[in-house]
Amino acid sequence: MRVTIQDVQKMKRNAQPIPVLTCYDYTSAKILDSAGVPVLLVGDSLGMVVLGHETTIPVTMDMMIHHCRAVSRGAKNALIVFDMPFATCSPADPAGSLRNAARALAEGGAQAVKIEGGTHMAPVVTAFVGAGIPVMGHIGLTPQSVYQLGGYRVQGRDGAGQERLQADAVALEAAGAFSIVLELVPADLAARITAQVRIPTIGIGAGPHCDGQVQVFHDVFGLYEDFVPKHTKRYATVAATLREAAKTYITEVTQHRFPE
């Protein structure tokens, strides 16, 4: 049975931590689904860790749908969340935004979407939820605004920033979001927001007090070697294992040991 947004919300009520991982393809989706990861985020981080872009900005709806379809073919139990890419939803374009979010479910096979932004995105959240499209909010460091924010840095360091983020979380909950990602915010602020809202908070670089944690597949399994975020813990070193296996393959082929 597929995990629902109600199941995820019940996990918060039962004080059961919510593990979330990003996922971008069929094979990984099958592995994570069979391991029991309840929520898979088809993140636009795929632009960086899968496609090699420097930011998530070049990611398009078509790219996201391509990957989300693959994930939905592999994951039959997890709740699949589709990350709305850069400039595909905005309060300035309600019809276009709704059309894009509908594609995420109808073509991508997702059960929910994630959108970056706080109070100013509340009308978009309300419209999506009204159309039957569950929304995960995302505040703090919002990578699609990297140029506006001046880099990938911790948000909500001063009093004004903290008040803004708390207001953002409250506005997203009031608009109908079923959960909120808190990215790169101080742990004490994440704890306050988590206590303040009834919907689950999913942290990344936001300390241990969120209701759940999300991490990027390539970071936690040691596949992406260009950069390791400080908040990541490596649960495997797959790139090193693959490199060694590739060397063994080269040796065996060049020495006529494979095929036997």
Identify which of residues 142 and 162 has a Cβ nearer to ligand KIV in the complex: 142
The 70-99 site mask, x for binding ligand KIV (CB under 6 A), equals -------------x----------------
Identify which of residues 147 and 254 has a Cβ nearer to ligand KIV in the complex: 147
Give min distance, CB of 67 to ligand KIV, in A: 11
Per CB under 6 A, the segment of 4-12, 42-50, 88-96, 241-249 that binds ligand KIV is: 42-50
Give whole-number Cα distances, 12 to 6, 111, 170, 202, 242, in Å. 10, 19, 16, 10, 37
Give min distance, CB of 89 to ligand KIV, in A: 14
Alpha carbon distance 125, 91 (integer Å): 9
Q: Kindly write down the DSSP assignment for every residue of 20-49, as one continuous string.
A: EEE--SHHHHHHHHHHT-SEEEE-TTHHHH
What residues between 12 and 41 interact with ligand KIV by CB under 6 A?
Answer: 22, 41
Of 246, 229, 230, 248, residue with least CA distance to 238 = 246
Tell me if 181 contacts ligand KIV by CB under 6 A.
Answer: yes
Tell me if 182 contacts ligand KIV by CB under 6 A.
Answer: no
| Residue of 116, 183, 244, 260 marked catalytic | 183
183 catalytic per annotation: yes
What residues between 194 and 233 interact with ligand KIV by CB under 6 A?
Answer: 204, 214, 216
Q: Which residues contact 40 (CB under 8 A, 6 or more apart)?
A: 20, 21, 22, 23, 29, 32, 33, 71, 75, 78, 79, 80, 81
Tell me if 44 contacts ligand KIV by CB under 6 A.
Answer: yes
Q: Count CB neighbours of 180 within 10 A.
A: 27
Question: Are the C-beta atoms of 155 and 120 separated by less than 8 Å?
Answer: no
Tell me if 110 contacts ligand KIV by CB under 6 A.
Answer: no
What residue ranges bind ligand KIV (CB under 6 A)? Answer: 22, 41, 43-45, 83, 181, 183, 204, 214, 216
Q: Which residues are the active-site residues? A: 183
